[in-house]
Amino acid sequence: MIPRSGDRDFDLALAHTLAAVSEKLEALPSFAYYDDYDGANAYATPKVRMNNADGTVLFGQRLLSRLMSGTESPEVAVAAVCAHEFGHILQFKRGLDRVVGVGQPTVKRVELQADFFAGYFAGARKLERPNFPAAVFAMTQHSFGDNMVNHPGHHGTSEERGAAIAKGFEAAYREKCTLAQAIQISTNYVAGL
């Protein structure tokens, strides 16, 4: 586990954003980078690796450099992936991953609910900061869509991932849903996919 990215300003800005994600999603995992030598990735685990009780989010250094080389608000793209992973931490805390994933041949519903929660954060953030570029959340997750629809690791197509972000965004930004309401709406939403 690697505590810092090497860019102090970036680390400070991301720490602020992650504190806001923790507050909106009521999930407080430890966060660190790791060496994703076997393929650019980020993941969430309920395992407590440091001192925060809600598990751990690990962000690959390769994925970080890939997102940072993008032109459109790269730090917001990093935040989008983090918010998705914090969404998984929320699922682990509330047992939602079991509820939405039960009997499913792929992890799609679990992943799209995490995208919904990332979108929910983006909507809540935009209410507080009208300049927040929430569309970057949808573009980022859209870019990670896959078409391996029968593979157990299928996360959702690009269209499904972008749509899940948009649904979560609307729940916060337009409907002003509480987190409890967003959990209910997202559970119903992914059950219909």
6 or 153: whose CB is closer to Zn ion?
153
36 or 111: whose CB is closer to Zn ion?
111
DSSP string covering 88-108, please?
HHHHHHHTHHHHHHTT-SSSH
24 or 88: whose CB is closer to Zn ion?
88
> Edge-to-edge strands of the sheet including 30-34?
30-34, 56-60, 42-45
- Give the integer Cα–Cα distance in Å for 167 and 169: 5
Q: How far is the CB of 88 from Zn ion (least distance, A)?
A: 5
Q: How far is the CB of 176 from Zn ion (least distance, A)?
A: 26
- For the chain, report the end-to-end CA distance as a whole number of angstroms: 36
Q: Interface with Zn ion by CB under 5 A: which residues?
A: 111, 114
4 or 63: whose CB is closer to Zn ion?
63
Report angle CA 28, 42, 51 to the nearest 5 degrees: 30
Q: How far is the CB of 84 from Zn ion (least distance, A)?
A: 6
Adjacent-strand bridge partners of 30 = 56
Q: How far is the CB of 63 from Zn ion (least distance, A)?
A: 12
